[in-house]
Amino acid sequence: METFTWAEVCARRLARHRLAGAPADDVAEVVRALAGVHAQVPSAAELSIGLRLAGATRETVRHALWTEHSLIRTFGPRGTVHLLPARDLAMWTGALAEIPLAAAQQPPHVRMTAEQTEQVLAAIEDAVADAELTVDELSDAVVAACGSWAGDPVMDAFQGKWPRWRQVMHLAGMRGALCFAPNRGRKVTYTSPRRWLPGFNPAGGALPDVLRAYLHVFGPATPARFANWLAAPRAWARGVFADHADALERVLVDGEEAWVNAGDTARPTEPPSGLRLLPYFDGYAYAVGNDRARLYPGRAATRAKGNFQVLLVDGVVAGLWHQRRAGRKVQLTVEPFGRVRRADLDEQAERVGAVLGATPELTVGEVTVGGHA
């Protein structure tokens, strides 16, 4: 059985997350290599991709998304908003549709039956087939197709109540019935991916491909971590690993059992190195279980609790940072947990500024705001 040290895992992941070596030169290929990019906050996704691309700015990412349509913004792993490569959308939607639906989290008076769920999903798909609709316009279409029960304002929302049908909106994206369209002013709109991808249909039997993509970039990993990444039941994930055991290889990471794709035990010869500023939701910083304890050592274990932008040093979290836009400038505050070279921070600040199209102003000091501020 192959054995890995945590340092070897970090070096391997840095390379596969496109954070080591030469920058890439293709937006969709970066997103593909990362097994999708979390895009709940569009600017964070733009920065996450831009930092991995030679000479990229946020406009580079926007062009790929809204002009080339080589990226699709939709609901992906965990039912959260992701950027996915258009060329892989059939794979992703086919695989995500295989994940068992989670037990109902809503109170009984809010829930929908399985029949109502399918009725709403069909109504969403029909409504956006040839249109770009705001959520209110989409709601009107769903209620008109399904009945008044779909529009009952029963879901707790940020400052009020959402209509009943909204609880399955993410499923429409995960199944390929809906994706995001360009904003209409400040309003988000939705459409069908088929408008940009003629002939698109979710692919059958695609789950092994998504497992392979996950293990390539996040491996060595365990079924529990795969389940967490997809927001899927752990028992189901264990079954997936068992069903595809012939395509997997068991390894040890500092004595802990984990898995990689069969034959994929290569690791860089050099130790993990370098300093990087990673934005909110960056995939490299996503960790659970023992990976969390290893990736967030020492002070990071308590100081970086919550959703922070992190300073990465030699492959592990070694500080926090915060950005605030001020006109054509972006003010960056970086809080290292140990000693770092100011020249390295300046270099990263310049790269962040270049992606954001702003002049960076760097301050080294305590980050006083909370997570996701």
- Can you tell me the distance from the alpha carbon of 369 to that of 351, in angstroms, rounded to the nearest whole number? 23
pLDDT tens for the chain, 373 residues long, are: 999 999 999 999 999 999 998 888 899 999 999 999 999 999 999 999 999 999 999 999 999 999 999 999 999 999 999 999 999 999 999 999 999 987 777 888 999 999 999 999 999 999 999 999 999 999 999 999 999 999 999 998 877 899 999 999 999 999 999 999 999 999 999 999 999 999 999 999 999 999 999 999 999 999 999 999 999 999 999 999 999 999 999 999 999 999 999 999 999 999 999 999 999 999 999 988 889 999 999 999 999 988 899 999 999 999 999 999 999 999 999 999 999 999 999 999 999 999 999 999 999 999 998 876 6
Taking domain 104-198, whether its CATH number is 1.10.10 is answered by: yes
Entry pTM: 0.95
Any idea what DSSP says for residue 202? P
Confidence at residue 21, expressed as pLDDT on a 0 to 100 scale: 85
**Which bin fits 55, alpha (ψ -120 to 50), beta or left (φ > 0)?**
left
Every domain of the chain and the residues it spans: 104-198, 275-364
Sign of the dihedral defined by the CA atoms of residues 166, 167, 168, 171, in that order: positive
Angle (CA) 368-370-373 rounded to 5° is: 105
Please answer whether residues 104 and 117 qualify as being in contact, where contact means their C-beta atoms are separated by less than 8 angstroms. no
What sections of 276-316 are H helices per DSSP?
Answer: 290-295, 300-303
Residue 292: both structure tokens together: 């969390």
Confidence at residue 20, expressed as pLDDT on a 0 to 100 scale: 93
- Can you tell me the distance from the alpha carbon of 231 to that of 271, in angstroms, rounded to the nearest whole number? 32
